[in-house]
Each structure stands twice: as C-alpha cells, then as structure tokens.
Chain A
Amino acid sequence: NAGVTQTPKFQVLKTGQSMTLQCAQDMNHNSMYWYRQDPGMGLRLIYYSASEGTTDKGEVPNGYNVSRLNKREFSLRLESAAPSQTSVYFCASSDIQGGVGKLFFGSGTQLSVL
C-alpha cells in the first residue's frame, strides 16, 4: 500500500525561487495536513484541509499557500522561498475527520533554501 506519497524527496532552491510540494494519499481520508519539522521544535502545522474544498491556516502559515486539488491531493506552494523555510516538510492525512484520528505521514521532503 502506498499510503501518503510526497514528491520530491529532496530540493535545493535559491532565495526568491518558487516551488510546489506535492502530496497524495490513497486511503480515502477526508483530512490532510502539511507540517514542517525543525530541530528542537518538533512538528509545526502549516496548513490543513479538513475536507475536500476547504483549507485553513495552522501555526506557521506565513510564506506558504495550499491547494486541495481533490480528495486525494493536497499541495504546498512556496511563492518566494526564504532561508527560514529550510526544513523537512511532512504531509499527513487522517482517517477520521478532524485531529482525533490517527495521522498517517509521508516520508518527507528535505528542502534547503540558499
């Protein structure tokens, strides 16, 4: 089973460049999430989508945009990358609408902004 698939796995950007991180899940989950992981800070929620057609800000949304393309796919876009956005990004989905359910994570995207 594929579960949650993220692409790319690694990316290096220059300051000011843009890119989109792709995420797809094949478990028919309603809710999807984007987190960033930084040393000593755990995971912080960037944006989430409680259901198809809705998106909401998390703890650290500045500098990011998201699109819930359909029930399977939830993308994260950096319009003008900054060094502070160097991080590991995780996409997740939930088997119950809302944060109560178990989160299923992708394997992550390691992003470096120079």
Chain B
Amino acid sequence: AQSVTQLDSQVPVFEEAPVELRCNYSSSVSVYLFWYVQYPNQGLQLLLKYLSGSTLVKGINGFEAEFNKSQTSFHLRKPSVHISDTAEYFCAVSRSTGGFKTIFGAGTRLFVKA
C-alpha cells in the first residue's frame, strides 16, 4: 500500500519570499506523484505531476517539484510567492500500474502575508 506524509500542516511566508512544501511517500511499488491545490470553498485542481523522465517537474503558477527516489520525497517549491498563492496544497500518490486509487496526504496550508 502507498502512503503520503506532508511534513508541515501550516507554512506562513511573506509575499515574494521563496517557499518549499515538503512531501514524503512510502510505497513498495513504482508510483506516480502529484501536487494539487485547493483554494477556499473550491475543489482541488492539479498543479503538477511526475510520471517518469526528468525528476524536476514544472507546473502551473510558477510552481515546481523535484522527485527524489532515494529519499522518497516530492517537495514543492516556488521561488517567489504571491498573496494569491494562499491555499491548501495536497501531495498525492498512485501506483504506476493498475493504479485506480490516488492516495492524498493530510495537506499543507500556505499563508502568504503582505
């Protein structure tokens, strides 16, 4: 079975500062990795995904994530955040073969302060 651990429940940061949201996963099989964002009172939307190939993945809104197989991590980064990035961010994992289930982490709430 797969599991996901998001190491920070809340991350406060000032506008224009860099941010890193940490995610570790556990799996005995090969997996695909995702980051989703949830703005207040909305459903989730995909930020980026890693399926194979380059370990550095670029997504929407200037976010990127790096897949590190040896450390089983998939941390999300943005070099300069905006107020509008305030949201909850979810790391997720699914099996790379026969994977009908996507397992989500508990979420990290990003607060961007002026």
Contacts and interface: CB of A to CB of B under 8 A. Distances in A.
Give the interface size bracket for A toward B: 20 to 34
Nearest to A35: B104
A53 interface: no
A44 B104 contact: yes
Interface in A37-69: 40-45, 48, 50, 56, 58-59
A107 B32 contact: no
B77 interface: no
Contacts, number: 65
Contacts of B43: 4, 90, 92, 105-108
Given A90-B44, A99-B94, A107-B43, A43 B104 contact: yes
Interface residues of B, number: 27
Nearest to B94: A99
B21 to A, nearest CB: 13
A99 B94 CA distance: 6
A43 B96 contact: no
Contact of A56 (B9, B36, B98, B100): B100
A91 to B, nearest CB: 9
A103 B95 contact: no
A107 B38 CA distance: 10
B100 A50 contact: yes
A40 to B, nearest CB: 6
A48 B99 CA distance: 12
Interface of B: 4, 6, 9, 32, 36, 41-46, 49, 51, 90, 94-96, 98-107
21 contacts: A35-B104, A41-B106, A42-B90, A42-B107, A45-B102, A50-B100, A58-B101, A90-B44, A98-B94, A98-B99, A98-B100, A99-B32, A99-B94, A99-B95, A99-B99, A99-B100, A100-B32, A103-B102, A105-B43, A106-B43, A107-B41
Interface of A: 4, 31, 33, 35, 40-45, 48, 50, 56, 58-59, 90, 92, 98-100, 102-103, 105-108
